[in-house]
């Protein structure tokens, strides 16, 4: 049995455009191409797509995914490896939730006492935090993801870590503004969104529609949504709404 590209896109949540891109770069060729020119996929391709999406959700770029798939021999062993990675990611999110919970409690107590927050062990603030990257999970922006990979390849490890920390810090700053009661259209929130947009356009031109789509992916894409919600419940929606306001007001 095989399935047309539109049905595979519906089942997996990956756009047909991205599936075509995976074919073009040799990552996921279809089982056959029909006389109508449409791509068709069989069970083997569906299993391969599952592995690709798991690896993308774990933060691997497309070149890294290709290398992992090329090196694996047995499908069951490959899935066991992916399962171990997922369990490790679950543990990381548990640690992150605990770190954020402790920070909230410390902030609330310092405000109650009327004193600045004292950080005795600053490294605890970052327990479980994997620096957030736009290229880490979304399947709807392959061109932007590849532009990021090209940029990263030319950077030093120190530069990469600094950039990742800044992207994570952007999320935390937005969460703090949300907790302080600032709406999506408030100027401090829009200033943060402007910084995010400028960081994106430093890599390549990002249209208003693309930026809006990235905002929607904060809610619709499981990996993105998990990353935002691990920082603060409701942050994914707040980010999406703030991007919508920014795109309407400044990008047209």
* Domain region containing 234: 131-252
Residues 193, 170 share a domain: yes
CA atoms of 152 and 139, how far apart (whole Å): 18
Q: Examine the domain organization and report whether 161 and 214 are in the same domain.
A: yes
Please tell me the least confidently modeled range out of 95-104, 151-160, 173-182: 151-160
Closest C-alpha among 121, 25, 115 to residue 70: 25
Residues 49 and 30: beta-carbon distance below 8 Å: no
Query: Does 137 share its domain with 252?
Result: yes
| Total of domains in the chain | 3
| Of the candidate ranges 15-19, 135-139, 187-191, the one whose mean pLDDT is the lowest | 135-139
Residues 55 and 97 in one domain: no
Q: Is the pLDDT of residue 161 over 80?
A: no
Residue 79 covered by a domain: no
Q: What is the pLDDT of residue 73?
A: 56
- Residues 163, 238, single domain; the answer is yes
pLDDT tens for 1-21 read 899 999 999 998 888 999 999
Same domain for 65 and 121, yes or no, is no
101-128 residue pLDDT tens: 766 776 677 777 776 655 444 444 445 5
3-state DSSP assignment of residue 30? coil
Full strand arrangement of the beta sheet holding 3-4: 3-4, 39-41, 32-33
**Is residue 204 included in any domain, yes or no?**
yes
Instruction: Quote the pTM value.
Output: 0.46
The domain that contains 157 carries what CATH number?
1.10.490.50
Structural domain ending residue among the three candidates 96, 130, 164: 130
Q: Which two tokens stand for residue 117?
A: 């927050």
- Among 146-155, 192-201, 211-220, whose mean pLDDT is lowest? 146-155
């Amino acid at each position: 049995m095989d399935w047309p590209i539109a049905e595979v896109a519906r089942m997996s949540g990956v756009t047909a455009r991205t599936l075509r891109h995976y074919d073009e770069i040799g990552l996921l060729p279809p089982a056959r191409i029909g006389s109508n020119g449409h791509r068709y996929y069989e069970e083997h391709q569906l299993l391969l797509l599952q592995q690709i999406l798991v690896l993308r959700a774990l933060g691997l770029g497309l070149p890294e995914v290709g290398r992992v798939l090329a090196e694996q021999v047995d499908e069951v062993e490959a899935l066991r490896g992916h399962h171990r990675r997922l369990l490790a990611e679950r543990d990381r999110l548990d640690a992150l939730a605990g770190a954020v919970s402790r920070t909230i409690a410390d902030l609330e107590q310092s405000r109650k006492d009327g004193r600045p927050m004292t950080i005795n062990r600053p490294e605890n603030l970052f327990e479980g935090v994997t620096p957030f990257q736009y290229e880490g999970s979304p399947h709807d922006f392959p061109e932007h993801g590849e532009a990021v990979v090209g940029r990263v390849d030319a950077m030093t490890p120190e530069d990469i870590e600094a950039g990742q920390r800044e992207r994570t810090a952007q999320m935390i700053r937005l969460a703090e503004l949300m907790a302080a009661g600032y709406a999506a259209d408030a100027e401090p929130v829009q200033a943060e969104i402007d910084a995010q947009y400028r960081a994106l356009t430093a890599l390549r031109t990002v249209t208003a529609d693309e930026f809006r789509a990235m905002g929607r992916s904060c809610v619709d894409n499981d990996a993105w949504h998990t990353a935002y919600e691990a920082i603060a419940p409701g942050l994914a929606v707040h980010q999406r709404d703030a991007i919508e306001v920014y795109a309407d007001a400044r990008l047209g």
